[in-house]
Structure 1
Amino acid sequence: MKNITLSVDEETYRRARIAAAERNTTVSALVRDYLRTFARPADIDADPTAALFAALDCAQGFRAADRMTREEAHAR
């Protein structure tokens, strides 16, 4: 396995550590998984379920606690 070094600003690193902790993993594992997905050959058909969960993992800033109330959803 190869090691790489990259530089990010403090805020990006802080947010990455929080995201990793929420997923019970490490920043290195998050970057490794991202690069593995990014570098995947285009001719391989991905499992649609895996693609959905990967997209959900990449979605930032969504929490179920942030959902709208019924009144907010139906306000016109």
Structure 2
Amino acid sequence: MKNITVSLDDELYRRARIRAAQEDTSVSAVVRRFLIEFASEGTEFDRLKRQEQDLRAQIQEFCASDRLSRQSVHERQIGRKKR
């Protein structure tokens, strides 16, 4: 196991200790948990791929026939002024 040194200003360290105590843990355990998550996230591509999969899983119903026709999409109202 490796030890690391992290420099923080006094106020930040004080607030981190208070928050860790409220969660019944230590600052070291919080930093360890963060680093485990940070190191296991993988690349930005992997993160986006997981996000896409999660979003696709949330889609309940989709039917391509519900889409507008090509003609409907490109119809323009007659008499509408061009800018």
Give TM-score, length-normalised by structure 2.
0.49
Q: Give the residue type in structure 2 aligned to 1:26.
A: S
Gaps of 5+ in 2: 55-83
Instruction: Quote how far apart the aligned CAs of 1:36 are.
Output: 0.7
Gaps of 5+ in 1: 49-76
Name the larger-Rg structure: 2
SS at match of 2:40: coil
Instruction: Quote how far apart the aligned CAs of 1:6 are.
Output: 1.0
Coordinate RMSD, CA, aligned = 2.0
Instruction: Quote how far apart the aligned CAs of 1:41 are.
Output: 3.8
In the other structure, the counterpart of 2:67 is none
Q: Does 1:37 align with 2:37?
A: yes
In the other structure, the counterpart of 2:13 is 13
> Distance between the aligned counterparts of 1:40 and 1:34, measured in 2?
10
